[in-house]
Amino acid sequence: MKPVKVGICGLGTVGSGTLKVLTRNADEIARRAGRRIEIGAIATRRINPAIDTNGIQITQDIFAVARDPEIDIVVELIGGYDTARELVLLAIENGKHVVTANKAMIAVHGNEIFAAAQAKGVMVAFEASVAGGIPIIKAIREGLAANQINWLAGIINGTGNFIMTEMRDKGRAFADVLQEAQALGYAEADPTFDVEGIDAAHKLTILASIAYGIPLQFDKSYTEGISKITPEDVKYAEELGYRIKHLGISRRTAKGIELRVHPTLIPKSALLANVNGVMNAILISGDAVGQTLYYGPGAGAEPTASAVVADLMDVVRTLTADPENRVPHLAFQPSALSDLPILNVEETVSGYYLRMQAVERPGVLAHVTRILGEKGINIEAIIQQETKEAQVPVIMLTQRVEERMMNEALREIEALPDILGEVVRIRVDHLAD
């Protein structure tokens, strides 16, 4: 059968990894896909002579690849929002299938892109956009298709997890670890996307859509980063039997869908608490299967290329299939997407870790516990170390409560004259059904 021709746009970390895997495993890939996959064009803005392209001409015009009549599938690996969107829409307009690793573009422009692809009868495959080499899109969209998904929680940013792990294990400084993650090719072009949770929110948005069959709604996700986590909080969490992880959490509730990324205390014994370094993991609870866990490298050249190439093979296998009978982009038939609302973070429910600086005086704790009690907030544990100082840190763990009630309680606690400064608040999740 005639080989399928792909055009690679973007030759950075993932692009060069894709080139390598496609070349090295060409025979094995053809045995699996049923046809050879050949690279017909490569386009990149910055030509790097150190990358061996096997004699394939490189152009600087990515849009020429999307118009090239010889190309069947365009692989978008340039990243970013707008140019990538333009490129993908042009490829679709020209009747080409698309494979992308771009979570930002899918999370923000995915609804428009999938509608265009649907109208044209082409596929847009995006496995590499979430958790690098872990086949999580395929697992949810196909492997778990029998289930009603109840919730999912994931470590879906390798850079953030690498930073949290190094800070905890080696006491390294935040900036130093971030620099290493950048040198290793894990971090985003703008590393604030990693540490402030934006990258994780892009990925969570995609996961929630295919889990519940809802349109992509990145603008409604709640995002909180790890840059304010202090070594003290890491230490107190350990004392209480927890570990702090930067999690993306999405839960189906009676009122709607929770969609939130924030540092979270989880029990030390939880499998997710033991996912270290740049590794990613996603825990999913389905009504039929129960909990399943997916673990692996979430970033880097060849792990991400592994997902890009698998998508290429999926597209190749279905080239001759009737578009109506392909796996839908967002797992559910486009006409069957639901309008379940995304909840405001104030409507979500969590346990809380609180750390406050209190004046060492009788009755201060009584005031704090009275306020919590009045809001219906149950305290699970308190740590207050013996001190000869005039001030003392007080650490509390609470049971699950609606965030609105916690916010009201914190406003009153922070107004107490004997509580100094802001109360540190980190959500707690036991990852139980």
Distance CA 247, CA 188 (A): 18
Instruction: Write b or e for each residue in 209-221: b if 16 or more Cβ atoms lie within 10 A of its Cβ, otherwise e.
Output: bbbbbbbbbbebb
- Determine, following the binding rule CB under 6 A, whether residue 197 of this chain makes contact with ligand HSE: no
- Determine, following the binding rule CB under 6 A, whether residue 158 of this chain makes contact with ligand HSE: yes
Torsion angle in degrees (nearest 10) through CA of 20, 26, 31, 32? 30
Q: How far is the CB of 418 from ligand HSE (least distance, A)?
A: 42
Pairing relation of β-strands 73-76 and 4-9? parallel
Region near ligand HSE per CB under 6 A, out of 3-11, 26-34, 157-165, 346-354: 157-165
Report the candidate in 363, 377, 366, 362 with the shortest Cα–Cα distance to residue 410. Answer: 377
The alpha carbon of 111 is separated from its chain's Cα centroid by a whole number of angstroms, namely 18
- Determine, following the binding rule CB under 6 A, whether residue 10 of this chain makes contact with ligand HSE: no
Q: How far is the CB of 186 from ligand HSE (least distance, A)?
A: 4
- Determine, following the binding rule CB under 6 A, whether residue 40 of this chain makes contact with ligand HSE: no
- Determine, following the binding rule CB under 6 A, whether residue 299 of this chain makes contact with ligand HSE: yes
The alpha carbon of 109 is separated from its chain's Cα centroid by a whole number of angstroms, namely 16
Residues carrying an active site annotation: 203
The 10 Å Cβ neighbour count of residue 240 is 19
Region near ligand HSE per CB under 6 A, out of 183-191, 237-245, 331-339, 355-363: 183-191
Q: How far is the CB of 27 from ligand HSE (least distance, A)?
A: 29
Q: How far is the CB of 191 from ligand HSE (least distance, A)?
A: 8
Nearer to ligand HSE, 300 or 351 (CB): 300
The 10 Å Cβ neighbour count of residue 355 is 19
- Determine, following the binding rule CB under 6 A, whether residue 194 of this chain makes contact with ligand HSE: yes
- Determine, following the binding rule CB under 6 A, whether residue 126 of this chain makes contact with ligand HSE: no
Nearer to ligand HSE, 68 or 76 (CB): 76
Nearer to ligand HSE, 186 or 218 (CB): 186
Nearer to ligand HSE, 100 or 398 (CB): 100
∠ CA(289), CA(294), CA(300), 5° rounding? Answer: 160
Number of residues that bind ligand HSE (CB under 6 A): 11
Region near ligand HSE per CB under 6 A, out of 27-35, 117-125, 186-194, 306-314: 186-194
The helix (run of H) or strand (run of E) holding residue 423 is strand 419-428
Pairing relation of β-strands 242-252 and 279-286? unpaired
Q: Please, which residues have CB within 8 angstroms of residue 426's CB and are 6 or more apart in sequence?
A: 229, 233, 237, 244, 262, 263, 264, 265, 352, 353
Determine which residue in the list 18, 102, 159, 209 makes contact with ligand HSE, applying CB under 6 A: 159
Where does this chain bind ligand HSE (CB under 6 A)?
Answer: 132, 157-159, 186-188, 194, 199, 298-299
